[in-house]
Structure 1
Amino acid sequence: MKRSIVYSLVIFTFSGTELLAPTNLVAQNFAKGADISWLPQMEATNYKFYNDQGQEQDCFQILKDHGINTIRLRTWVNPSTDKVSGHCSKEETVALAQRAQKWGMRVMIDFHYSDSWADPGKQKKPAAWEGHDFTQLQQDVYRYTLEVMSALKAVNIYPEWVQIGNETPGGMIYPEGSTANWSQLAQLINKGYDAVKAVSPKSKVILHLDQGNNKERFRTWFDNAQKHGAKYDVIGLSYYPFWLPGNPDYTLSINNLGENLKELAARYNKEVMVVEVGGEDTKAQNTYDMLVAVQNKVKAVPNKKGLGVIYWEPQGARSWSNYGLSAWGADGKPTKALDAFLVK
């Protein structure tokens, strides 16, 4: 997730319930998740988290008490030290994954294959990979993916899910991995897939697009993925009503999301998952209602192929991040929105 928006007259720029051991990567209950990749820097800059009662508490405890059982973490190749748009190195990702596992959280790793934000607006290759020919780029993807997965394995973490690329409607690692050359994009995806499976065969590989309500967008992309032999296990979707043209209320697009989820699962015989979702922090009740609706749509996918829903940086309070779609208030406490993950 990374967007540049005018929000309230301010421009914001930013893009199971048990331990997962190697033998414990079988399907578990519905994933209720949070991407909390900002958390270490929030803590390092002395941001304080408070529970519903106003008591200072570990963010993991607050999330767990609100039904969160899954943690998603992005990883960048050679990131800067910028508070908001840096960090998320291999070492930092592994350390945060260890914390998540100690809290009994399931883990998802999100490879951006960049030094900072990768999203529909940009898929800039890591600086260290600039000038490499396509053969070398394939090796770069395989080697880097293998390194991160091996570092996780070394501390007994086998992610339940691994994303190869982040919001890639136009491809990744431009220009070589653009959808203008699907054959090369598929080869890069497959190098990432193969590296994941070499270390953790039971980890499910996700390919991820934005605009989860846009059926044509997904059908075109995944038809091409199928045609060119891209390997994956799960289709990941982002769903942010706020970012849709005209900032419409979620009620105008939620049914399209539900239909898309069902059609994708049936057409490609794959599991589906909303790996990013978010709503306005100043409209907590509306965001709560949206999150309940999104979870219901994912659960309605036949044959239990709807795996879960993950909120993007719910703890990333506006006062720290300048991000207006968190689920945290100015008082340092979660908003009503986060209660949506307590709904059965």
Structure 2
Amino acid sequence: MKLIKYFFSIFIIITTSCSKNENSDDDVDGPDEEIFYRGMDLSFQSELENYNVDYKDADGNSVELLDFVKSKGTNLVRLKLWHTPQDGQNGIDDVKAYAQRIKAKDMEFLLNFHYSDFWADPGKQTPPVAWQNLSLLDLKAAVYNYTKSVVQQLKAQNTLPNIIQIGNETDSGFLWDYGKVWNEFNDNWVNYAGLVSEAVRAIRELDTENKIKIMLHHSNVEHSIYFFNELEAYNLDFDIIGLSYYPQFQTKDLDLITSKLNTLAETFDKEILMVEVAYPFTLQWNDNLSNYVGSLNQIIPEFAPTPQGQKSYMEWLITTIKNIPNKKGIGFCYWAPDWVAFNGNENTSTNGTSWENQCVFDFNLKALPVLDSFNYN
């Protein structure tokens, strides 16, 4: 009997081992593998859907945007959040509604806190009107309570973000002048770090299963090392370095971009997400607004402003991110790929958009080849 049990045990061990070997390829791509993000910022959808924009596939067939971009490889959607929006867009109700749609498609969700009532970027970081006369101590409490309230609301509807971004392009700090770290406030890092810490504390207290990654966002790859060096002394609790790269505003030297990304990875033990990227497929326009990119001196010489050039640029970018040392490059997020020309409100545009030549749909709203790069390996 003991001999039978012995051989039976050996049989179980062998068959279990074989089963694991047979499924080894599945394990590599299994749920425990770190995801490579192929994202899109679709913050304009809450408004654009009011205009019934007719997005199409490459053959001209109408598509539902979220289903379509998921089928092309998109696995992350970024949404911006304004505190009390000046134009009624991108408030908490908009974010909650679209977050439900993202999660229903089994896609991941990146929440972008601007901590402002309108656009925040390196040149303007205006606190919400409701916070503008607070003491620094009271502002910290407001950041904590507001952050916690937003995350609680998302948690209650089972749409917790996978990534939360604390501030938008905070090269110069945020919540000026309280958390400003620019010009005459260059010695104000302790206040910036203190405000960020309150947002982090609110998130960590609610994220009991430690599922949320926290990101800090800088607008310029070339100059970001200084920013994160300054923060080292404060031991901030965050997981991801978020970066923007728009060639029209930054260096066009591809080797320099690669070098800076590699230095970031080797200097700081953080993941790197290229959280805002885009590239033009033409220098023409499709409305009566001037575009951000409209001349050859704004583009990278290696990539023409054509549909194929736009696709080749993204393939270069994906390869560059994947080659960041120590596997720290975790993906990209294409900014406003859907912001095509339309009759919007005056806060968005007069008769369209300043971005339509950098979208992933052409002027006939047909999908461009760049979408195929979302599955580029």
TM-score range, shorter chain: 0.7 to 0.9
Give, as a single letter, the amino acid of the residue that structure 1 aligns with 2:69: L
Kept after mapping to 2: 8 A contact 1:168/1:209: yes
Give, as a single letter, the amino acid of the residue that structure 2 aligns with 1:130: Q
> 1:148 and 1:50 mapped to 2: Cα distance?
34
Change (3 A) 1:26 1:128: farther
> 1:301 and 1:43 mapped to 2: Cα distance?
37
Secondary structure of 2:358's aligned partner: coil
Change (3 A) 1:28 1:95: farther
Structure 2: where are the runs of 5+ without partners?
1-29, 283-304, 343-351
Give, as a single letter, the amino acid of the residue that structure 2 aligns with 1:189: V
> 2:145 and 2:205 mapped to 1: Cα distance?
11
Residue in 2 that maps onto 1:54: 60
Q: Deviations over 1:277-302 (max 9, x none)?
A: 01114123222111111111111122
Give, as a single letter, the amino acid of the residue that structure 2 aligns with 1:254: L
The offset of 1:26, in angstroms, is 5.8
**1:21-170 paired onto structure 2 within 5 Å:** 28-81=34-87, 86-170=88-172
Find the partner of 1:301 among 309, 319, 324.
324
Count of residues paired in the alignment: 308
Residue in 1 that maps onto 2:254: 254
Kept after mapping to 2: 8 A contact 1:189/1:231: no
Find the partner of 1:231 among 211, 229, 237.
237
> 1:145 and 1:339 mapped to 2: Cα distance?
36
Residue in 1 that maps onto 2:278: 278
Change (3 A) 1:119 1:102: same
Give, as a single letter, the amino acid of the residue that structure 2 aligns with 1:50: K
Secondary structure of 2:230's aligned partner: helix
The offset of 1:338, in angstroms, is 2.2
Kept after mapping to 1: 8 A contact 2:113/2:164: yes
Calculate the aligned-residue CA RMSD, in Å.
1.7
Give, as a single letter, the amino acid of the residue that structure 2 aligns with 1:208: H
> 1:223 and 1:196 mapped to 2: Cα distance?
24
> 1:280 and 1:88 mapped to 2: Cα distance?
25
Structure 1: where are the runs of 5+ without partners?
1-23, 246-251
The offset of 1:60, in angstroms, is 0.6
> 1:109 and 1:338 mapped to 2: Cα distance?
23
Kindly indicate whether residue 227 of structure 2 is the aligned counterpart of residue 221 of structure 1.
yes
> 2:57 and 2:94 mapped to 1: Cα distance?
25
Change (3 A) 1:35 1:281: same
> 1:41 and 1:87 mapped to 2: Cα distance?
7
Q: Deviations over 1:86-108 (max 9, x none)?
A: 51111110111110111111111
Q: Deviations over 1:9-62 (max 9, x none)?
A: xxxxxxxxxxxxxxx996532110000010121111221211222111110122
Residue in 1 that maps onto 2:359: 326
Secondary structure of 2:168's aligned partner: coil
Kindly indicate whether residue 216 of structure 2 is the aligned counterpart of residue 207 of structure 1.
yes
Change (3 A) 1:271 1:25: farther
> 2:232 and 2:220 mapped to 1: Cα distance?
20
> 1:25 and 1:42 mapped to 2: Cα distance?
34
Find the partner of 2:195 among 180, 183, 188.
188
Change (3 A) 1:254 1:189: same
Change (3 A) 1:189 1:25: farther
Structure 1 range deviating more: 288-297 or 253-262: 253-262
Residue in 1 that maps onto 2:348: none
Secondary structure of 2:145's aligned partner: helix
From the CA coordinates, give the structure whose radius of gyration is larger: 2
> 2:321 and 2:279 mapped to 1: Cα distance?
17
Q: Deviations over 1:189-233 (max 9, x none)?
A: 111111111122321110010122x0xx21211111112333211
The offset of 1:253, in angstroms, is 2.5
Q: Deviations over 1:92-128 (max 9, x none)?
A: 1011111011111111111000011101111111011
Kindly indicate whether residue 197 of structure 2 is the aligned counterpart of residue 197 of structure 1.
no
Kindly indicate whether residue 338 of structure 2 is the aligned counterpart of residue 315 of structure 1.
yes
Query: What percentage of residue pairs aligned between the two structures are identical?
Result: 31
Change (3 A) 1:186 1:305: same
> 1:229 and 1:114 mapped to 2: Cα distance?
25
